[in-house]
Structure 1
């Protein structure tokens, strides 16, 4: 048991409390920033997916527009009767027109279909003249004049030569030949253009989006810090008020105990001596009356002295917490309650932590005597490098924790407030007919106010 020597400095509770409050503000700000970061991620991910989808849609629309231009200005005017009849010389102009696009890799394949599904021209000559089924929406496309584009791996029978190219942008648009006939132009583009447009959109939008979210987060940080500090200030004020109330209660207990000891008990003790003297000099028939009055008076004096001991706890610095707890169990033994006390003899606690555990034990043991109707009680004090635990269990009648306490029975609330002021926690469990357990826990590093 650690003791403070005369003249030694007391623990600076105010500094400890301020440090704890500052740590609480930092923890609150860190939680705010972490939640903000999580929110940014949760918002940024779907936004990124949406941007990618929109940019892919725009890239596909651009591919359709490019293919329309290719059909209207490059391919359509060069589709002549000779091309339709399969004249190799007539196809040379189309090959030369499309060669640069095929060479730079932007365009992978070109096919021109008639409405019967026959390929009348392709940059791959072996496909010319082959017939395959057209997509079901081909005639709808020819009617409305709008192209169609898809991004997928090619698996159709007419696409076996492009199957190894991976994903391709496949575009269908109508085109008018020089003969006035309507044909279908099918063009395959490399997917790199779509990916590049997606990446450009992401790189252009996401940084600005994240910057806006970050600015919003920083703008909210200042009021969040102020709010956390106000909350900490209110909690600090509440702790101080609660501590003052406990201090006032202790001072009032001491005053009442001192008045009882110095006045009432002394007067009653003097009256007891006077009755004893009167008993010795009274007549034999009056002596039993004086003896009975003296016994009642002495019993009341013992009761009052026990009350003063309960009101004014022993000096924990001189006595030590183990011995103080042992003395608290004496009234239980007088009531016939078996007590099992397990307390380490070398308990390393300062006076303030010892006082906190003593108050809890005093309240629990008083309730056990008055209300529990218990036959056994176990009181255990455990200590390690991290915390100190006081565990008290009786086998009494128990009570309903959910019920409101009767008037003037605020012991449980007082215990909770006492432990809370010390920076600890209190857990109470009770079972009807099977007793009650109370566990008070105090971290070794928790700041406790010294008095």
Structure 2
């Protein structure tokens, strides 16, 4: 009798410890997979958006557009380019020449301005696709964006004519759809993780008994 009580006590402790371990493992795996899902979703959005902006630039823009100091001369063509690039997720655009001057923006007051503290822009002018995710729009250049949005992803895509980078297009991508996709995927993964662990836990305890 005493032996049976001790056996039941051991099984009970084992069940409790197993449950705690499974729950902790579930949270750790969920956190790691959520971060991976978010990273993959963002990377896909960056590549798709940058390619979209670069390919459409070839349909509208030439190198002369980026060397003309009369920014308003090509406004109509820039507008057509923006309308072609714009999507539900792309809510703003800035186009820079090689000196970092804004030669076009859908916010006309920004045209002709230059922001010297933009690291991502300088790296994009060197030929790299760069991205900056802003959960807090506190830079001087984001004075207009922070009136409408809480967070944005800024994607800097170099515009090349041949092998030469003639300028950069910066597109502002909302994070709403990305966060929705990440949340939906995370919920699905979380469900599978905890259902899987629950099944293993039940089977393991059935075997122990």
CA distance in 1, matches of 2:77, 2:114: 21
Instruction: Give the alignment of 1:252-291 within 5 angstroms.
Output: none
1:68 equivalent to 2:50? Answer yes
Aligned length, in residue pairs: 202
Specify the structure having the higher radius of gyration (Cα): 1
Aligned to 1:160: 143
Structure 2: which 5+ runs fail to align? none
Q: SS of the counterpart of 1:155? A: coil
Aligned to 2:158: 174
Query: Which of 117, 133, 138 pairs up with 2:116?
Result: 133
CA distance in 2, matches of 1:89, 1:135: 27
* 8 A Cα contact 2:124 2:168, kept in partner: no
Cα deviation 1:256-288 (Å, max 9, x = unaligned): xxxxxxxxxxxxxxxxxxxxxxxxxxxxxxxxx
Aligned to 1:52: 34
Instruction: Give the alignment of 1:34-45 within 5 angstroms.
Output: 34-45=16-27
Aligned to 1:92: 79
Aligned to 1:191: 175
Structure 1: which 5+ runs fail to align? 1-16, 226-451
Using the TM superposition, give the Cα deviation of residue 51 of structure 1 relative to its aligned residue in structure 2, in angstroms.
Answer: 1.7
Classify 1:124/1:189 alpha carbon distance in 2 versus 1 (closer, same or farther; 3 Å): same
Instruction: Give the alignment of 1:227-266 within 5 angstroms.
Output: none
Instruction: Give the alignment of 1:351-366 within 5 angstroms.
Output: none
Q: SS of the counterpart of 2:38? A: helix
Classify 1:177/1:166 alpha carbon distance in 2 versus 1 (closer, same or farther; 3 Å): farther
CA distance in 2, matches of 1:64, 1:134: 22
Cα deviation 1:57-101 (Å, max 9, x = unaligned): 1122112202221222223532344585322333331243245x1
CA distance in 2, matches of 1:206, 1:137: 35
Please report the RMSD computed on the Cα atoms of aligned residues, expressed in angstroms: 2.9
1:145 equivalent to 2:128? Answer yes
CA distance in 2, matches of 1:184, 1:82: 12
Aligned to 1:116: 99
The higher-RCO structure (CA 8 Å, 6+ apart) is 2
TM-score (ref. length: structure 1): 0.40
CA distance in 2, matches of 1:140, 1:98: 22
TM-score (ref. length: structure 2): 0.80
Q: SS of the counterpart of 1:153? A: coil
Using the TM superposition, give the Cα deviation of residue 118 of structure 1 relative to its aligned residue in structure 2, in angstroms.
Answer: 0.8
